[in-house]
Amino acid sequence: WLVSTRAAVLVMTFISAAVAGLLAARDGSFDFGRWLLLVIGLVFAHATNNLLNDYTDFKRGVDKDNYFRTQYGPQPLEAGLMSQRELLTYAAVTGLVAVAAGLPLVIYAGWPALLLMLAGVVFVLFYTWPLKYIGLGEISVLLIWGPLMVGGGYLVITGQWSWNAALASLAYALGPTTVIFGKHIDKLSQDQEKEIHTLPVLIGERAARVAVLAMVALQYILVVSFVLLQFLPSYSLLSLFALYTLPRVWRTFRKPKPAEKPLGLREGIWPLWFSAVAFYQNRSFGLLLITGLLLGVIFR
């Protein structure tokens, strides 16, 4: 299950849930039980999406013949680790856990939470196809890891919608968006061959690299702006220490991807290149951000 759900990337979802909980705690409305249900629901929903992603791409023949996905980690169906029925069983059980965690939150927060939950179901079921195929995958990620997870998370914890929390979420949501941008740049040529029109395919490789650099810069600009607007506590400025990652991000994204694996690159990363560096930056930024938010709660 851990291999099939690509569990290493689930930390991005946990960070969004943590941001929602810490913003609620800052406002004096934190409830640990509801927050724990939120974490379980969001993480298992993300895991379900990853399972269905592999199933959909397998059925559409995308991962056949050593396509990009099968090179950086085992694709369970292509590698013969499980049958289609077994993978769908994994997805059904994982999805039911997410729904079971979400239902009490919907009962507590009412119809707005139900609408957000239904939106989440749509993204889980249709992100891989058709959204990713028509250049909407990256925009979906921005909305999911930002207003949906953080804004919706704040709602189900506190019982109230907060536009401040929803807007502040964009500072972190840009991070997962750079990761998916990086991944789609990494496999741009393969996606072109398979007629998967991701946003990097539509705007071109160079423009996509520039877009990632702009989004990374915007993350730090937004943090400072939201602190000045008091959407975020001043301790959130701790996330600026993640600026130490920028030289590596700049060196990587200012040039096209190398044709072959560079010497010294750690095993298990290639052919990931842009996405690996984007994930490195996002993880550093996200963990520092929630540390700052936690300090804001302690010393508010």
Average pLDDT over residues 260-279: 87
* pLDDT value, residue 266: 82
Residue environment code for 24-42, b if the CB has 16+ CB neighbours within 10 A, otherwise e: bbbbeebbeebbebbbbbb
Task: List the one residue out of 103, 285, 88 whose CA is nearest residue 177.
Answer: 285
- pLDDT-derived band of residue 120, with 50, 70 and 90 as boundaries? very high
- pLDDT-derived band of residue 131, with 50, 70 and 90 as boundaries? very high
* pLDDT value, residue 70: 74
pLDDT in tens, 27-63: 999 999 999 999 999 999 999 999 999 999 888 888 7
Whole-model pTM: value is 0.92
Average pLDDT over residues 98-117: 95
Residue 134 φ then ψ, to 5°: -120, 25
Angle, helix 246-253 to helix 274-298, in steps of 10 degrees: 150
66: tokens are: 């050593």
* Single-letter code of the amino acid located at 178: T
190: tokens are: 């393969």
pLDDT in tens, 135-147: 999 999 999 999 9
- CB atoms inside a 10 Å sphere around CB 145: 29
pLDDT in tens, 201-255: 999 999 999 999 999 999 999 999 999 999 999 999 999 999 999 999 999 999 9
* pLDDT value, residue 275: 94
* pLDDT value, residue 66: 64
- pLDDT-derived band of residue 264, with 50, 70 and 90 as boundaries? confident
End-to-end Cα, the chain, rounded Å: 40
Share of the chain above pLDDT 70, in %: 99
- CB atoms inside a 10 Å sphere around CB 270: 16
> How would you class 264 by CB atoms within 10 Å of its CB: exposed for 0-12, middle for 13-18, buried for 19 or more?
exposed
Residues 6+ apart with CB under 8 A from 294: 22
Average pLDDT over residues 68-96: 88
* pLDDT value, residue 143: 95
Least confident range from 43-57, 77-91, 128-142, 254-268: namely 254-268
Cα radius of gyration rounded to whole Å, the chain: 19
Three-state SS sequence of the chain = CCCCCCHHHHHHHHHHHHHHHHHHHHCCCCCHHHHHHHHHHHHHHHHHHHHHHHHHHHHCCCCCCCCHHHHHCCCCCCCCCCCHHHHHHHHHHHHHHHHHHHHHHHHHHCHHHHHHHHHHHHHHHHCCCCHHHECCHHHHHHHHHHHHHHHHHHHHHHCCCCHHHHHHHHHHHHHHHHHHHHHHHHCHHHHHHCCCECHHHHHCHHHHHHHHHHHHHHHHHHHHHHHHCCCCCHHHHHHHHHHHHHHHHHHHHCCCCCCCCCCCCCCCCCCCCHHHHHHHHHHHHHHHHHHHHHHHHHCC
